[in-house]
Amino acid sequence: MNCDKAHAHITSSPFFREGYTTDEISAVFCPWRRMARWLEVEVALAQSQAARGTIPAEAAEALADSADLSRFNLAAISRGIRETNHSLIPLLDQWHRASEAEAAGYIHFGATTQDIQDTAQVLEMRDAFAIIVRDLDLLIRETARLAFSHRDTLIVGRTHGQPALPTTLGLKFAVFIDELLRHRERLFETVSRSMVCQLFGGVGNMSALGGDPQGLLDNFAQRLGLKVPDTCWHSARDRTAEITSLFALIGGSLGKMANEICQLSRDEIGEMEEPFHLGKIGSTTMPHKRNPEQCEQVVVLARLLKATATAGLDTLVNEHERDYRAVRIEWVSLSDSSMYLGAALAGLLRIMKGLIVHEDALERNMGSSACLVGSEALMFLIAAKIGKKKAHDVLYRAAMEARETRESFLETVVRQQDTAGLFTVEELRRATDPEKHVGLAREITERVIKISEKLPENNSGIELAVSPCPFLGRDGECAINTIKRKG
């Protein structure tokens, strides 16, 4: 068996990749598609220069026709990158070979390598954003469905890991939705700042871009569907650092949701669990195990996203007018964070679609702790007769005593000196009915659901469709090996 270096990264593993990426978002970062994008940007540059009269229109037309990666010797490009230590020149050399001599003289006319690669990277991220926005919307809607279904389902609210007060499962989901909606806003804000082209030349002053460089830049951006930046951003990488930071924020929220399900699936709580099917195995030595591994994987991805964001922040420090260290980090940080977030969204969406809610466990847990989680209601009931501070002291002593002796909390309360004869156990039990003490849980839940139903239309310029990789074969596998043989 030959070891295939192409599968060395976990996102390319034929065995484990589904835990770290999806086929759809991985295709965005196909290396051959990346080079095809570089050619796409080069062609847009040539067409813009032709439109401004900088190069002949016939040359731009010929270059558009010859910019076909499938006609290039990809093995020679790979070899050339190793020999020249330059990421673009070997591709341009192949383009020269495939082009008419006169047209070839206008290839990469006036631009610098980073102009082309940065602009192509923005197009790449536009595709990634499209997938992420779509899947985030699906997750919001699925969580809203659960919130509506459980808007009146009682659950023990917990603080510091301990039973606190009664609330509703619907409100728990509503809090998730509210957080995801804010991330959606952040995504669109980030898109509005980051979807900009780059065309400023060697040190950012546009000196080699002809007589009307600003007009050329405007035309170039329009052809690619991007915005025009006010200055070059060769060494200003705040936009890309913002993307990886935002992806880590979103991943953290997804991890929080998955971890909550994981915690509530413990046998001693047992209120919900991730989807299960016969044949899913939890342990090689303990056949009874029913592990929440799907939820755990979302948490893993959240942690990887945080680590990737740290690498993204390192791109902010550059030297002088241009420096390739940031770009080389971004080739990893942007692609990895996009794939990890894509996998986290897809994974959590599967979990929420198949989420198992054990309402019998919810009722059992509420019943066993109803009196304790009703302590707030009891405090105000008793305070009406003896004052709030004294009522708090009474309930504190009773609760601590009941915990130590394992006696009934309510019976312990009525025995206290300050409450003796004021209430019966039954009166206190009625006062602690959980359904009477969920406040505005239903109203808040319904309000958030209504907001989620009015998700704004996609008006950010994100195209919610990703074009297929030009090198995917009929079986869905990248046809690069075939292309190499043709070369």
CA distance 487 to 482: 9
Residue 482, pLDDT > 50, answer no
pLDDT band at 480 (very low <50, low <70, confident <90, very high): very low
Q: Under a CB-based contact definition with an 8 Å cutoff, are residues 109 and 45 in contact? A: yes
CA distance 243 to 232: 18
Q: What is the DSSP letter of 362?
A: H
Look at 206-215, 230-239, 468-477 and tell me which has the smallest mean pLDDT: 468-477
* pLDDT tens digits along 17-72: 889 999 999 999 998 899 999 999 999 999 999 999 999 999 999 999 999 998 99
CATH classification of 10-14+21-360+458-486, choosing from 1.10.1760.20, 1.10.3720.10, 1.10.286.10, 1.20.200.10?
A: 1.20.200.10
**How many beta carbons lie within 10 A of that of residue 181, not counting itself?**
17
Question: If you average pLDDT over residues 435-461, what whole number do you get?
Answer: 85
pLDDT band at 375 (very low <50, low <70, confident <90, very high): confident
Look at 6-10, 142-146, 265-269 and tell me which has the smallest mean pLDDT: 6-10
**How many beta carbons lie within 10 A of that of residue 423, not counting itself?**
18
Per-residue pLDDT at 457: 60
* pLDDT tens digits along 284-333: 677 777 888 999 999 999 999 999 999 999 999 988 988 888 889 999 99
Residue 450, pLDDT > 90, answer yes
Q: What is the DSSP letter of 7?
A: G
CA distance 375 to 432: 7
SS3 label, residue 152: coil
Residue 468, pLDDT > 70, answer no
Per-residue pLDDT at 2: 53
Per-residue pLDDT at 470: 54
Per-residue pLDDT at 483: 39
* pLDDT tens digits along 162-185: 888 899 999 999 999 999 999 999
Residue 160, pLDDT > 60, answer yes
CA distance 338 to 186: 15
CA distance 109 to 465: 31
- Token pair in block for residue 234: 């060769």
Q: Under a CB-based contact definition with an 8 Å cutoff, are residues 421 and 363 in contact? A: no
Mean pLDDT rounded to a whole number for the chain = 89
Winning range, highest mean pLDDT, from 123-137, 360-374, 384-398: 123-137
Helix (H) or strand (E) holding 294: helix 293-313
Residue 473, pLDDT > 60, answer no
pLDDT band at 485 (very low <50, low <70, confident <90, very high): very low
* Active site (catalytic) residues: 160, 283
pLDDT band at 410 (very low <50, low <70, confident <90, very high): confident
SS3 label, residue 4: coil
**How many beta carbons lie within 10 A of that of residue 203, not counting itself?**
14
For 405, phi then psi, to 5°, come to: -95, -10
- Token pair in block for residue 179: 């957080």
pLDDT band at 120 (very low <50, low <70, confident <90, very high): very high
For 320: left if phi > 0, alpha if psi spans -120 to 50, otherwise beta; the answer is left
Nearest to 280 by CA among 295, 291, 296, 267: 291
Q: How far is CA 257 from CA 20, 299, 389, in A?
A: 18, 9, 37
What are the residue boundaries of the structural domains of the chain, listed by start? 10-14+21-360+458-486, 375-431
Residue 458, pLDDT > 60, answer no
Residue 419: is it exposed, middle or buried by C-beta count within 10 angstroms (0-12/13-18/19+)? Answer: buried
CA distance 102 to 104: 5
**Which residues, in sequence order, are bridge partners of residue 167?**
155
* pLDDT top residue among 481 and 421: 421
pTM, two decimals, is 0.90
CA distance 69 to 36: 6
CA distance 257 to 297: 12
Residue 142, pLDDT > 50, answer yes
Residue 411, pLDDT > 60, answer yes
CA diameter of the chain: 105
CA distance 142 to 353: 7
Look at 244-253, 285-294, 379-388 and tell me which has the smallest mean pLDDT: 285-294
Per-residue pLDDT at 372: 80
Residue 378, pLDDT > 60, answer yes
CA distance 330 to 335: 8
- Token pair in block for residue 298: 């979302």
Cα 244 to its chain centre, rounded Å, is 10
**How many beta carbons lie within 10 A of that of residue 481, not counting itself?**
13
Residue 486, pLDDT > 70, answer no
